[in-house]
Amino acid sequence: MSKLITIAVDAMGGDNSPKKIIDGINQHSKNNKDIFYKIFGNLDLIKNIIPKSLSTDLFELIHTNEEVKGTDSPLSAAKKGKNTSMWLAIESVKKKESDIVISAGNTGALFVIAKLNLNMLENIDKPALSGLWPNKNGINIVLDLGANIECSEKNLVDFTLMGSALFKALFPEDDPKVALLNIGSEELKGNEIIKNTYKKLNNQNNKTFEFKGYIEGNEIMNGDVNVIVTDGFTGNVALKTAEGTANFITGELKKAMTGNLIGKISSFINIKNINKFKKRFDPRIYNGAILIGLDTPVVKSHGSTDFLGFSNSLEMCRKIVSGKLIEKIKQSID
């Protein structure tokens, strides 16, 4: 029998927790009997909401009354001590009792506590926050999404290596195709850091990815590349712009389809295509950002997602561990 993958779960973070966390675990366990969940949180709140369908062989509850609030600053969250559910979950991977950690809680606090407990990978200077974006042909990995406002050429090269390894771990059948996010596709465009990074990647003979040059913001979803690298400031702005645009389009489509009788009739006739559209842009499918560069990956589920979104983040955890992400990053760096 193969070794179970152990996921350390902060059950107290995010909206409607711990119920959505437990429901997400239950949903994920239905199709994954090779996962063991170490659940950190308030036993008094959790014990009565665990469904009977969730086998007791697949989870362990570790009780704590303390939790990191969404209103806590990263510093105050770290000062709360070592008994919060978030700290204990991260400490579990530090002690090698778990393979990966996930939380839907306070993002800043999660990253600070993770960096306090976990070591950086050798030869990596900064961790990067990476996420999944849809494109015409499948999925993009985009990083950094906000962990580092300023980045050096080495940081961007490191992000390229780590992002390619993450893509290969999640999608082993496909090959990473990397591009640098820039204001133009010509070699002379951009600041000195981005231009020097271009030269380094263009001259590298790294067989773990194919370097495709620059990509502009309006080409991110074309599907020509699948790993997009940038600094955290630009990446975060691009992410928020994409999220806002997607919300605007789906909101306007909903108004057009329900605003009058003709719209309602049209939506009824096209219900199949509308449902396909909604599913393609459902943020729950792409839920989960990954902090990579530490010796254990840290997965951040969106605080406002529901149990299905959290279940998808747990599936991301499973793929990261089974895809041997850390080993792939080390091999790529070597």
For the chain, give every domain's residue range: 1-120+295-323, 125-292
Residues 134-155 pLDDT 10s: 888 888 999 999 888 999 999 9
Identical fold for domains 1-120+295-323 and 125-292, yes or no, is yes
Q: Rounded to the nearest 10 degrees, what angle do helices 307-322 and 19-29 cross at?
A: 50
Mean pLDDT of all residues in 97-122: 94
The yes-or-no verdict on residue 244 having pLDDT over 60 is: yes
- Ranking 230-239, 282-291, 294-303 by mean pLDDT, the lowest is 282-291
Q: What is the pLDDT of residue 1?
A: 44
How remote is the C-alpha of 324 from its chain's centroid?
Answer: 16
> From 3.40.50.300, 3.20.20.70, 3.40.718.10, 3.40.50.740, which CATH number describes the 1-120+295-323 domain?
3.40.718.10
**Single pTM value for the model:** 0.87
Alpha helices per DSSP H over the chain: 19-29, 43-46, 74-79, 85-94, 107-117, 153-170, 192-203, 232-258, 261-269, 271-280, 307-322, 325-333
Architecture label for domain 125-292:
3-Layer(aba) Sandwich (3.40)
Residue whose tokens read 């001590």: 81
Closest CA to 26 of 277, 306, 334: 306
Residues 71-83 pLDDT 10s: 989 888 888 878 9
